[in-house]
Amino acid sequence: MSSLSGIRVLELAGLAPGPFAGLMLADYGASVLRIDRVNPPSTPSPDVLVRGKSSIKVDLKSLGGRRFFLRLIREVDVLIDPFRPGVLEKLGLGPEEVLMKANPRLIVARLTGFRRDGKYATMAGHDINYLAVSGVLSMLGPTGTSGEHALRRPLPPSPPGNILSDFAGGGHMCVTGILLALMYRHRTGKGQVVEANMVDGVSYLATAPRKSQKIPGQWDRPRGENLIDGGCPYYNVYECKDQGNYMSVAALEPQFFTALCKGLHLGNHHWGGDREDRKTWPRMKTVLEETFRSKTRKEWERIFDGTDACCLPVLTHDELERDGYELRSAVRLSSSPAADPGSDGWQIKTLERGEGGVTLLHSWLGWREDHEYKLENGGAVVGSSAKL
């Protein structure tokens, strides 16, 4: 039995963080039903975070659709709300005013980009915007002002895709809140509203770096000039002889640095001083760049594999898939295992609107189409035999 077996989740259709939260819950045993719009809005990309989910179409703007949704709400444990502030309220489906009155055990997980009470609450945004106003984006990326061949001018911060805000600070933090609420409900029998937002989520993830900015020698210098943000030459990435291939270096501790130097056949005399002296860093970085460009990545792998030099190849997903890399769940539990992604983790799969929902409703509640509910203009509404 998985950890969340028996937990029923409704996921209002969205993109990125909301579906990721639903995916995590499904992977650990929850039964997830995505509520799709009858006429969906245009989106920049399809939802591919659909493993283990089913779908049903509901028009929440119609009276019949809302009645069906409220009937369903009575029977589930978690609702994932990815909408901007006020959307559910405008539909007459306010969490505390309506939904939790229908089901006091319900956990309503509301996931937004910005804080609900902040100056940006009503504005649209994406991952880079949430990173920006959280203070985290200002810490990411090179400056262009270090090294012997520096540009002598700062470069803009670099966004790391949409991994940090959408998925780590958003979807993952939302799941953390849901699990905490489930634990509280187990003790009290009461549901609650979980409010997660990507600004606070990613800011929380940056707790240690933020505090380290006030510790000398940690993160107290401008972006790109610190120990682990690209400023330090022995914590960096270097291109190899075969262009476009790289090795990562993280030889922070003295014993690891010694192992690195041994593999590179280098020593302090090559950069003119001890590694702790930041004045040696520009020359050291140049030496390391030139040295790594003298061999291919495969050659460096043969040198450093099995050592404690903290020097490893920068692999691409294409390489990992080609080599049969085994994708696994985020954490492994000895008694309540998750569903491992397996080969599904490499494949693009989508969930058609309405796919699997009829089967899941029968499995959950014994509901049958044209009895407890019916489809009207493509969306589910309460049927003639439903007990309201």
User: Which residues are known catalytic residues?
Assistant: 166
Nearest to 244 by CA among 314, 195, 347: 314
Kindly give the residue spans of alpha helices, DSSP state H, lying in 28-170. 63-73, 87-90, 100-102, 127-134
User: What's at 191, amino acid-wise?
Assistant: G
How many CB atoms neighbour CB 107 within 10 A?
27
Q: What distance in Å separates the CA atoms of residue 214 and residue 342, rounded to the nearest whole number?
A: 43
SS3 246: strand
Q: What distance in Å separates the CA atoms of residue 202 and residue 151, rounded to the nearest whole number?
A: 30
Strand order in the sheet with 235-239: 235-239, 246-250, 311-313
Q: Which residues contact 102 (CB under 8 A, 6 or more apart)?
A: 70, 73, 74
Q: What distance in Å separates the CA atoms of residue 279 and residue 265, rounded to the nearest whole number?
A: 21
362 membership: H or E segment, kind and range: helix 357-365
Beta strand spans in the chain (E): 8-12, 31-36, 53-57, 78-81, 107-112, 192-197, 235-239, 246-250, 311-313, 373-376, 379-382
Q: What distance in Å separates the CA atoms of residue 139 and residue 78, rounded to the nearest whole number?
A: 35
Reported as half-sphere exposure (CB side, CA atoms, 13 A), residue 226 has a value of 19
